[in-house]
Amino acid sequence: MSLETISENRSFGGVQGVYRHRSAATGTDMTFAVYLPPQAEDGPVPLLWYLSGLTCTHENAMTKAGAQQWAAEAGLALVFPDTSPRGEGVADDAAYDLGQGAGFYVNAAQAPWSPHFRMWDYVVEELPGLVLDAFPLDPAAQGITGHSMGGHGALTIAMTHPDRYRSVSAFAPIANPTESDWGRKQFTAYLGEDRAAWSAHDASLLMAMRGYPGEVLIDQGASDQFLDLLRPEALAHAMVARRQAGMFRMQPGYDHSYWFVQSFMRDHVLWHAERLA
C-alpha cells in the first residue's frame, strides 16, 4: 500500500511524522500521524494508539496532548488516526457530532454513511497492518487510549480485542452512548434502529458483559461541561460491579479540554509503557 509522507519533524530526539494513504476500508484518502521515539532507531518499539474525539483530526492530539515528551522518555511510539473519512463525495451533516469528524469508530450500515464510514475496520484492521509494515513497531506490544469519542473507541476496541491490546486507558470517554444523545443519535444514523447492534459499541455494557483481562485507567474531569452526555457513572458502576482491576479517577476542577488531557498524559503514557514493556 502506497504511503505518502506529508511531513517529518524532529521531536524530543524522535520523529513526528504525518502520512497519507488510500484506504480500502473508507474508500478515501486518509491522513494519520506517527511519533517514533529515539529508541526506534535501534529496533521495534511498543506502540500506543490515541483515538481523538468529536471534531478532531489526527492533528489535534498530535499538537495539543503533550504526549511526545513522555513517549520519548518511555520508548513508546504513538499513532494518531483521523476520526472519520473526509473529502468530496463523503456524506456529512451540519451538526458537529455527526458525519465528518464524528465517525464514532463504528462501521456504518445505513445510507448515506455506509459507503465510507467504516472506522472500526479502518482503525482495528487496515491502519494497524499499514503502520506495522511501514515502521519499526512491535505488534505484540500494542496499547490503546483516547479522549471523549476516542475514549469510547479505545475502550470498546480493547474489550473486543483484548488479545491484541495489552493495555487500555481513556480520558473522559463517552461511557454509555446507548443512553446518551452522544450515541443514540449517531448509532441510529450509522447503525439503524436495532439497539442490539449498538451494545457492541457501549463501554459500560461491554464492561458489564465481559470486562478487560488487564487493568483499566480512566481519568474524568469532575468539572467537565459534558458530564451528562458522557455518563461516567455508568462505567464506574459497571467496573465496581464486575470488580474490574484498575482505576477510575475523578479529577477535581478539570473540564473536557486538552488542558485536562495534557495534565494527565504523563500518567497514561507511563501506564501503558509499564504494561507493554
Domain boundaries, the chain: 3-276
Say yes or no to pLDDT of 63 above 80.
yes
pLDDT bin (cut points 50, 70, 90) of residue 24 is very high
Say yes or no to pLDDT of 235 above 70.
yes
pLDDT bin (cut points 50, 70, 90) of residue 102 is very high
**Of 21, 147, 201, 256, which one is the catalytic site residue?**
256
Say yes or no to pLDDT of 206 above 90.
yes
pLDDT score for 207? 98
Q: Is the pTM higher than 0.95? A: yes
pLDDT score for 199? 97
**Of 11, 148, 169, 180, which one is the catalytic site residue?**
148
Cα–Cα distance measured from residue 213 to residue 55, given in angstroms and rounded to the nearest whole number: 31
Question: Does residue 148 have an active-site annotation?
Answer: yes
**Amino acid code (one letter) for 158:** A
For the segment 155-172, what is each residue's pLDDT rounded down to a tens digit?
Answer: 999 999 999 999 999 999
Q: How far is CA 226 from the centre of its chain?
A: 18
Asked, as a colleague might, if the bond just before 112 is cis with ω within 30 of 0, I would say yes
Question: Does residue 167 have an active-site annotation?
Answer: no
Which of 1-5, 46-50, 132-136, 253-257 is least confident? 1-5
pLDDT score for 10? 98
Average pLDDT, rounded, for the chain: 98
pLDDT score for 2? 87
Say what percent of the chain tops pLDDT 90.
Answer: 99
Q: Does domain 3-276 have CATH number 3.40.50.1820?
A: yes
Question: Does residue 29 have an active-site annotation?
Answer: no
**Of 82, 202, 219, 224, which one is the catalytic site residue?**
224
Say yes or no to pLDDT of 1 above 80.
no
For the segment 239-252, what is each residue's pLDDT rounded down to a tens digit?
Answer: 999 999 999 999 99
